[in-house]
Amino acid sequence: MLSNDTLEYIAVLEQEFMRNSNSDLALQQKAYLRNQFQFFGIFTQQKRAIQGPFLHKKMLSPKTELHELVKILWSKKEREFHYFAQELSLKYLKCTEKEDINLYVHMVVHQSWWDMVDLIANKLTGNYFLLFPAEKEAYINKWLQSNNIWLQRSTLLFQLKYKDKMDLAFLEKCIHHLS
């Protein structure tokens, strides 16, 4: 269960998003993502300014609350909450734990679209498999076998930032499986 401070954190964030909403922009943003999601209608720079204080280290919830907090944000209909949840998750990269893969999978298979999945695969899942390489094969094989296009896309993107650590043979295996 989330602490009262964390529940208040979500409520204040929502108030800020609502206070800065622009219905005309929201319609444009919704159209850009093929009417898949609702928006408050906040420009990127403005959204970053709103989120900044919420993402400051002293404002972050304990790591023990991250999964539940992200899932609550992810369940909200406006896309700005999902973007915020991604940014929030990035703040905890240095304390990634083995069970965090469950949160990343949840994020990929719910509210799925390229604007979310690409960052999750690249930054969150990619970091995870560097930290826990023994987990990679089982998860990637499971995702390749799934009928979920977003999990399958993640198999191709998680190594995007690996540079010299990229496993080209593994990437080739994923590509061949999906072709």
pTM, 2 dp: 0.94
CA gap 42, 46 in Å, rounded: 6
Report the pLDDT value the prediction gives residue 2, as an integer from 0 to 100: 87
CA gap 107, 71 in Å, rounded: 8
CB burial of residue 60 (10 Å; 0-12, 13-18, 19+): middle
CA gap 2, 146 in Å, rounded: 32
Report the pLDDT value the prediction gives residue 59, as an integer from 0 to 100: 95
Q: Which residues of the chain have pLDDT under 70?
A: none
Report the pLDDT value the prediction gives residue 131, as an integer from 0 to 100: 98
Evaluate whether 128 touches 157 at the Cβ level (below 8 Å): no
Q: Which residue(s) pair with 78 in the sheet? A: 38
CA gap 153, 113 in Å, rounded: 10
* Residue 110 in tokens: 């719910």
Q: Using one digit for the tens of pLDDT, what is the confidence trace for 48-66?
A: 999 999 999 999 999 999 9
